[in-house]
Structure 1
Amino acid sequence: MIINPAVKRIARPTAWKLALLGGFVTQLLLIVFVTVIGLQQLGVTTDNLNKVVDVHMRNQELTKTMVTAARERTLTMLILTQVDDPFDQDALMMQFYNQGGRFATARLALLEQPLNTRERELIAEQGRLTSLAVPIQNEIIDLIAAGRSAEAGEMVIKQAIPIQNQVMVALSQLDAETHRVSTAASNQARAEHGVARWWIYLLSGAALLLGLLVATVVFYFSARISREREQLATHDTLTGLPNRMLFKDRLEQSLIRAKRHQTLVGVMFIDLDRFKRVNDTLGHAIGDLLICEVARRLRQTVRADDIVARLGGDEFVVVINDVVALTPILQGVEKMLGVVIEPYTLDGREIFSSCSIGVSVYPNDGATSVDLLKHADTAMYHAKNNGRNRFQLYDTAMNAMAEERLQLETDLHHAQERGELVFHYQPQLNLESGRIHAVEALIRWQHPDKGLLAPAAFLSMLEETGGIVSVGRQLLLAACQQTARWQAAGFTDLNVAVNLSGREFWHDTLIANVSDALAQSGLPAHALQLELTEGIFMEDVDAAVDRIRALKALGIAVSVDDFGTGYSSLAHLKRFPLDVLKIDRYFVKDLPNAPANEALIRSILALCKGLGLGTVAEGIETRAQLESLRKLGCQIVQGYFISRPVPADQIIALLGRDWLQAFDLAA
């Protein structure tokens, strides 16, 4: 009979393990009572640690709820004074009272928690200040209800906000105190836990020296090797999540169970947006930290019996099991989008990220794990192509679209060498002088079969392949050369604005490319403006500030596009050495019939004036919008009402036109 060598390797260790166990059982009995005592102490310290963490984390959560509710209540009250529509007022009033309810509920809950003297003093101080603020707020609400919004607004500015600021100061101090207490308590509990654990290790070590050293080493290493082999075979080494092999096995089990119970299974293919840029700019260590944090957030978002796996790189898959309708799957997807986009603090850096999610559902979109994963992957690419930070349900038509995209990628590979990628230019009108102040260079693809294609059809493909860097370098030079020719033709004050993608902004050759374009074209540096979106520089705030300063050192201007629709905060805006803010079309489209939008635009204009920044309002499509912006004091505007983006040879006719006379806007 032939014995399998693997069986022999297993049998031999088992025999001597039993022999060692029998030989040392006496020694084990001698130290059992010591070990039991140590374990009991360890259990007590563990319970203390859990209690401390639960109590103090709860205090922090309640305090932050109070801070958020107080801030939102003040903002709602301010907006109420600027809204005339009764329905809008009712909705805002409901928000106002709901926020007050949240605040009161959190405060009562906090008072029931164990608190120190300083915390109770701060809560008492907050209560005293709130008692002063509430009558003022009630009076403001009464004025609004009586239709006296102007008086209410003045009262908000002069009375409500100052007293509320004092409340916020007290809440901030309370937040800081709860954080301090939580940290101190956690540290103390962990220290106690560490001491108990140290004693356990010491006692165990003494016991091992009495006779269990050899046996323990053998058992330990054999068990560890077995676990490591299993872990390496079935789990991702970086995140600890199931890998592709284990994921497919679990998905197959989920499908069998779903078929038996007649339920649905949702498969979500998740890909981080612009993850390669994080690796390229901050290094793979930060990239690994980001992957681990995303994995942790995804795992916390789903139920215990759902599946979260990492397929590799920045790709994750989540499976939601045993649901009877599509709604829980969609709710889960929206939660994932929400948790992934929250800011990350990694190695002292604040980083923003988002993801694109493709969704397929069993049995609607496939009956096998291979089909479901393939279809979810296809849907994910559609989500990414449609703007990122969103999800897309699978549709059978996507297969044909995927084939079309593949052909388009092939055509794009040759487009640059064939000269098919060109700039069209959209004028920016100065409403004071009536002349074109600048032109924005917008990329277009003159496809030989499909005609003129807008950036949405191909720009994401250029970014994914990295071709955007070389294309951007070539087109930047072309825009500078063209603007220099216009200036030589007599339009010496004309500027040009060129958009930068994220890859271009973070690429090592950016500064050299811009400097070379200016040198080769002869265009004065002050005539070039580079436009960035908020998401680009929010990926790494500190590094972005340094890079913008390097660009400014060349003498060019830097603007932020689509201001107000992304991550911007006043604190961040103050740090960036910008020249121009572009007011997004979202705020312009409902003018002049949206008082709230007018108030927001007026606030942005005042903010820019205070910071010494220029402004450009984009998306002007009607005369009414143009006149509203002019009344609000917006000097530079652009949009289809003035001119669509046109080829360079059509710009001269627009540059020589008196637009105030053309629009009958002369004073």
Structure 2
Amino acid sequence: MNEDIERGSEKGSGPTLATHRPAGDSSDIPELVAALWNSSEPQLLIDPQDGRIVDANDAAVRFYGWTHGVLCSFTIDRINTLPPAEIRARLAEATQRPRTRFVFPHRFADGRVRSVEVITGPVRIGERILLWSTLHDLSDIVHRSPEFETLAHRYQTLVENLPAVVYLEEADPPHRKIYVSPAAERLLGWAAHELQVDRATWYERFVAPEDRAWALAERERNDRTGEALRLVYRFRTGDGRTVWLRDEAVLIRDRLGHPWARHGLLTDVTSQKRLEARLQRELAFHNVLLGIASRLVTASSDEFENVVAATLADLGSFLAIDHLVLLECEGTDIVLLSQWQAPGIELSVRCLGRQAIPSLPSLQSLLERGQPVVVPRLEALDAGANDVRTFCTHLGLRSLLAVPLLAAGRLIGCLLAAQQRDERLWGEEELDLFTLVSQLYAASIQQRRAERAEAQHHAWLRATVLAAPDALLVLDANGIVRFASPAARTVLGLAPDQLVGRPLADLTTTPERVASWALDGLRPERANRIEVQFAHQPTRTVELSGVDLRSDRHIAGIVLSARDVTERKRAEQLLRERATRDQLTGLLSRFGFLEVLEALLHTTTAEMIGILCCDLERFSALNDALSWEAGDAILRAVAERIRRVTGALAAARLEADRFAVALTAPDRTTLVRLAEELLHELSGWYEVGRDEVYARMRGGLACVEDGIDATTALRRAEIAFQVGKRAGQERLSVFDPVLYQASIERQFLERDLRRALEQGELQIHYQPVIAVSSGRLTSLEALVRWHHPDRGPISPAVFVPLAETTGLISQLTQWVLLQACRQLWAWSRAGLAPELSISVNLSPTDFLHVDVPQLVDDILQVTGLEPRRLTLELTESAMLDPAVSRERLERLRALGIAVLIDDFGAGYSSLGYLKQLPVSGLKIDRTLVADIDHDPASTAVVRSILELAGALELSVTAEGIESARQLAALRELGCHYAQGFFVGRPAPPNAIHHLLRRGSTDHPYLDE
């Protein structure tokens, strides 16, 4: 059946070519159409409405490998592997143009998919519009030779693995991309077929809006010129990113020179663009920084504020900041140096700057540590920065940046940036720029401060020179006066114009000496002072001080200060006389005596020199009784007698009533005799007004040995005096090195005892006391022990008297009481000694001069020990003042404290106080019981004491029991208690603890 066939035009009509015969019948087809249809090129007729294959020529049957019937039963999507929607779009596109070229992936009967070039166009067959498509197997062309096949394979591999996307775009409108390499999915996130769109769709769908118009215009211009294409624009990838693409393409022409397609390459240049942007940004940063630096460096002091304002404007405009504030910290004051704010911002920057640092402690703390404060969002602030949040909210700020200005690690200012219009994430580059700029501002502020300080220094210096009471002179290298301050008129008696141009030395009474000192004698290591008299006023003394600055190119001379010291010299002479002379007696003072004695010791003489140190006995009592005027009269009289002594080289009143005399004699014996005679001469009756007073002198003598100085000699005499005084010597004590060493040792021991009390070197040992009748342990006596870290154990007989004479006894007693009570309480809490008591010795000094009852009560309160379990032991010497003793003993008894008389029978043993004083018992001295086991006299004495104690209802404890026979004798006599080495030796707390845990009661230590 014949139908009219027309080749379609762009308008849908064209010349009639022939009639189409259905498959298998070609009798009515014009020869030209038949020739085309029956040619060797595969051809298909396709219905664009549904994609059905209407007909296929024999070459197409051979081409695909299916039979004619099977092939004509297909729709085109059975062959074309593109998505159906894409196929429909291509069919519709092909009907709009007379000729369209595609490259499609087609499936063949053997299952292969091959690239097929499809050249198609619309034809009218009757009332139908079909697409007449001619097919070319591109793969077949590539595979015409093995070499070509290899090259093609390599090219395909290269294209697919390039870090870029290769594409082929039609040269004619609508410029559809007919091929896109598979790398598109890997690099751009789109499948290759998704990018095979026309140009308009490409720019609309994939190119960023900001680049779309200019890039499309450039493509159209390139179409007109035919030049190679090179564009860089932003591209939206399949995963939503925006990347920079470089689009490069060249025009491909066919054999006749007609444009056929564009072959292009899409390369991701995002990293390059970012690098370019970063470099441009850094360059801009550097330009801004360089501009700020150059302006600050070259700015004068007068221009500083204007330059700072201009640089803030440059920085703020460049970074698009709302507010910029430069603050300077001067002590506790905050100074607003400059400010800048963007146009349209109404916030008071002055308010922002003034309040920022003082009202924000968290901000100030970070700045002082040299840390910038970055606040991109108020919500990002932690709880510790509520002050910053409140501050920013109050001022309507949304972001804040504060960079410290540091100088030598100290905060001297702050560069503050704030955003009001929006939040801002301050980038690292911005922070770096702010840090560098802040360093420039800090350096400029420091420079300005230095300039101001220098100017102020010059002003002060000028004012000092003009107002100084000392005259300032500048001499040239020849000693000629080149400058003189106004004070020269007062100090030197010459006006400045009378001095300038004249040699200074020539104006003095000793020109050669002054010239030598000024021109040659000034040295850095010397005081560089000289006292001179000027010829026109020789009675006045002027002190010149100088520094040689001839090497200083700015001064090139000698700078002198001149001071009138005439009155000072007179005052010094007067002070010297007063310092070396005692004003009351006219004798030398200690200072004057040492000075004279030092000179005597350096004088060569065959005589021996001795130093006598002496004082008046009971002078303080005389002074109190007779008045200080009488005391002064006695001292003057003593001084007068000393002056009359033969052989006295020098005499001094050292202090109060103490005198020193330097004597000389041929030998030591004579010196001692002279000293005794002097003491005798000074002792006697003195007239005080109408009365006479007897005064007695005692002293210490030190014979001066070779090689010692005056201070040592006098100290030895004073030591001899003190040693004799302590020993009770009535008149003269001569220095003895042994006694001196003992004194030194005593001082060291006193120091060590103080340290022992402070550092816990002392210990307490406890000695058992038993009931004689039963042998049971009844109490413990606390005995202090000292183990010196260097000297080892030191006897209580040594350090306890030392404590009494040095005032340490009270501290020692308090410590022993506290430790003993604590220890007994600890044993009681452990259930070891529920009824055991403890006894502590008190020195007479403590008992008579310390409020012992109050002390004991306080310690019992602290430790919790029951009063009945504490016993105090006192020697008989503590009872010498019955009134004081009775009062304190009664207070102790009221507290429930027992008091024993220790060492009874060894001292005063006055029986009267036993009846009068409330004591609880006696402790018989060890000397009375030592021979009790074999001496009838000792037995009689102890029996008498026991009878006396029984009559007074006092307990008796015997000390020093060292044998069983002694203990037996005491038991026979009826003694109550005993202690001693036989009963138990003093032991440390751990040993007593062990004893108590064993429960030993009979002779506690005999089992050991």
TM-score of the superposed pair, with normalisation by structure 2: 0.30
For CA contacts below 8 A with separation 6 or more, give which structure has more relative contact order: 1
Q: In proportion to residue count, which structure has more strand?
A: 2
TM-score of the superposed pair, with normalisation by structure 1: 0.44
Q: In proportion to residue count, which structure has more helix?
A: 1
Please tell me whether Structure 1 or Structure 2 has the larger radius of gyration of its CA atoms: 2
